[in-house]
Structure 1
């Protein structure tokens, strides 16, 4: 299983991650990313990795 990490100091709240994987990411009331579910099962790994990779400021990481 993989885990998602978000760096709120880097996040600019653009929302590409939420648009691609809203079961895992949402933009919170503070305008920054919140990780809704940080454990990623193997069946969602490629989908969530694409959302992580879409972050234009590289605020997201997924580790195995």
Structure 2
């Protein structure tokens, strides 16, 4: 699975980085970074949680 970020919707609040810190990271300038786009099956629960809590609905997974 691949993570997709709609950068037009993302406001960089960082809740995804809290839910899935191995996949998302906020830098010192409060910029969001995707650490890995290809999601392993064992990371799926964390990424699903990050997608659910995103207030802007900017995250999705695709095969």
Specify the TM-score bucket, using the shorter chain as the normaliser.
Answer: 0.7 to 0.9
Q: Which has the higher strand share?
A: 1
* Number of the residue aligned with 2:12: 13
User: Where does structure 1 lack aligned partners over 5 or more consecutive residues?
Assistant: none
Q: Show structure 1 runs of 4+ deviating over 2 A.
A: 27-33
User: Taking structure 1 as the reference length, what is the TM-score of the superposition?
Assistant: 0.82
User: Taking structure 2 as the reference length, what is the TM-score of the superposition?
Assistant: 0.83
* Number of the residue aligned with 1:51: 50
User: Where does structure 2 lack aligned partners over 5 or more consecutive residues?
Assistant: none
SS at match of 1:39: coil
Q: How many residues align?
A: 63
Q: What's the RMSD between the two structures over aligned residues?
A: 1.6
* Number of the residue aligned with 1:63: 62
